[in-house]
Amino acid sequence: MSFVACAALVERADPVRFRATMAAPVQARRILFPLYAFNVEVARAPWVTEEAMIAEMRLQWWRDALEEIGAGRAVRKHEVVDALADVLDADGAACLDQLVQARRWDIYKDAFEAPEHLDEYVNATSGHLMWTAARLLGQAEEKPVRKFAYAVGVANLFCAVPELEARGRKPVVDGTSNGVYALCKKALAALSYASKARRSVSRDAAPAMLSGYAAGPVLHRVYRDPSIVAQGLQDPNPMRDRLRFLHVNLRGWWV
């Protein structure tokens, strides 16, 4: 039942990853749904309260749960933790612990200190999740996975900019058109690297990447017109998005 609860949570809170996971083989879903449910819980923890201390405690709760999983001890009773403990190894627990630590930035309204700080955040949140999923699913080289995850993370960040700014956050180091353009160009370079190295990710591991299918179109739109980030990046053609997903899924390539 914990696995079913994870799938239901992802369906409600993360429809893109839910659709990607449902397109994966059944054995891959057993790994992906607990990971993505964990990500939902951690990603929303900083936003459910205005009290920083309570948000910190919520994130620490997940760090403690990961420590229990990594040490092979009995884990606390929680549907997501139960399912996660069935699929996660010690290396994965340590990797995801860094993801939780990175989410502390979401609690506060401080700006990123430098582009390198933003890169660390994207690599920890998007990169650690995607790499852990790919590693648990099958054979994959780490660098292409993390390059793709970086591109996906930046694309997702661009899509979230208006909402984050409305909540008083400063999601990018330089929000000018030039700053957005530079970040987008860097993400596209990472995407290009991942595309050239895509054969280093096995078919078994590929479902971990499928949820990033829309990163390329988003980044290319921003590259052509960086100002659209501030306006809100909504896909003007949902049918085209569905066709792209179908094409990527059937082809078996994620970029």
The mean pLDDT of 74-94, rounded to a whole number, is 96
15 CB burial (10 A radius; 0-12, 13-18, 19+): exposed
C-alpha 124/C-alpha 130 separation (Å) is 10
pLDDT in tens, 183-241: 999 999 999 999 999 999 999 999 999 999 999 999 999 999 999 999 888 766 788 88
pLDDT at residue number 196: 95
Q: Which residues have CB under 8 Å from 142's CB, separation 6+?
A: 131, 135
Sign of CA dihedral 73, 78, 83, 87: negative
pLDDT at residue number 63: 98
C-alpha 93/C-alpha 103 separation (Å) is 15
**Mean per-residue pLDDT of the chain:** 94
pLDDT in tens, 137-175: 999 999 999 999 999 999 999 999 999 999 999 999 999
251 pLDDT more than 90: no
The mean pLDDT of 26-44, rounded to a whole number, is 97
179 pLDDT more than 80: yes
C-alpha 199/C-alpha 252 separation (Å) is 11
pLDDT at residue number 236: 62
The pTM for the full model equals: 0.95
| Proportion of the chain above pLDDT 90, given as a percent | 89
C-alpha 11/C-alpha 17 separation (Å) is 8
